Amino acid sequence: MAASRKRALATLFAALAMTGASAVAAPQASAYPGPGVVTGDIRVHDPSVVKRPDGSYLVAHTADGIGLKTSTDRTAFRNAGAAFPNGASWTTTYTNGSRNLWAPDISYRNGQYWMYYSASTFGSNRSAIFLATSSSGNAGTWTHRGLVIESRTGDNFNAIDPDLVVDDQGRWWLSFGSFWSGIKMVALNPSTGLRSDSTIRAIAGRNGGAIEAPNIVKRGNYYYLFVSFDRCCQGAASTYRVMVGRSTSVTGPYVARNGTAMTSGGGTEILAGQGSIHGPGHQDVFGDVDSDILVYHYYGDDGASRLGINLLALDSAGWPYVH
């Protein structure tokens, strides 16, 4: 093939990758598929998605007052305002007065929407996780339900990046954490959504290294713990990547595919940056009618964060892969 034609094809495939055309393969095989096609208002950071009873989708993401977006088809997204358009005064102790709230986890249970979210400042573990509920999920309808857990500068954990999971016995658990000693878990009272005891369990860590954004789902015989390794929030220089381990118990021990415990730095990579897709991470997994869905943010060459969506499946050995 002529050199000029090779360059032209390379340019074409790079452009397709930026538009999310994941069905087209590059001339040299990429390690992972590109994000699926999404359109409209797709500038998000730390997305969490829930499917609503009417079949549409609600996205919550890091922003002033927690940003909201909606979609009817999982492709075209529009801005839907903020959960707390007038701010959240109860969080300012942890944000130094900023209205920016982080990393929400949104779900629909028992006829209402539940949202856990973080209040902190960058690089600090003076942080807190709060709970809010809403009957509709719409902007301005969220009710503050209280502080779930906080961390102070003397603690060995960081109370950000919450994720709710309900186990097979109907027990509620909240995983969370970033850097410090890693990913933690606490038990919740299903009636209130707040803590039910004082125990803090350790479920993953990298000896103080870069691990955050836990997300747990049950499929078959296993609970799968998805986390993000390495560096977020540096635009096109971000090195975030999505890792996974599994356990037969919601509280662990979680292990990687090679058997390494996630409490000892283990994790199996299922998505990483390539080409013009930089730092994919802060993942959220949810089940839809056609497939399990992996939602995340990534950065383009311009440094802006965007919504990434891919299908997720299990291989013959029961390990997740993106397609």
Binding residues for substrate: 46, 123, 158-161, 178-180
Residue numbering of the annotated binding site: 46, 123, 158-161, 178-180
Calculate Rg over the CA atoms of the chain. 19
Quote the Cα angle for 303-306-307, to 5°.
160
- Two tokens at 54? 């009417």
Q: Which of 288, 311, 309, 307 is nearest to 52 (CA)?
A: 288
Distance of CA 305 to the CA centre of its chain: 13
Q: How many CB atoms lie within 10 A of CB 156?
A: 14
The DSSP output letter for 6 is: H
C-alpha pair distances (Å), 90 with each of 153, 254, 277: 19, 35, 36
Catalytic residue among 46, 163, 230, 284: 46
Strand partners, 301: none
Q: Are 244 and 229 in contact (CB under 8 A)?
A: no
Q: How far apart are CA 317 and CA 85, in angstroms?
A: 46
Catalytic residue among 105, 212, 230, 284: 212
Instruction: Reply yes or no on whether 212 is catalytic.
Output: yes
DSSP secondary structure string for all residues of 138-202: -TT--EEEEEEEEE-TTSSS---S-EEEE-TTS-EEEEE-BSTT-EEEEEE-TTTSSBSSS--EE
Instruction: Reply yes or no on whether 269 is catalytic.
Output: no
Q: How far apart are CA 46 and CA 69, in angstroms?
A: 13
Q: Which of 25, 27, 59, 26 is nearest to 43 (CA)?
A: 59
N-term to C-term CA, the chain = 29
Catalytic residues, which ones? 46, 212
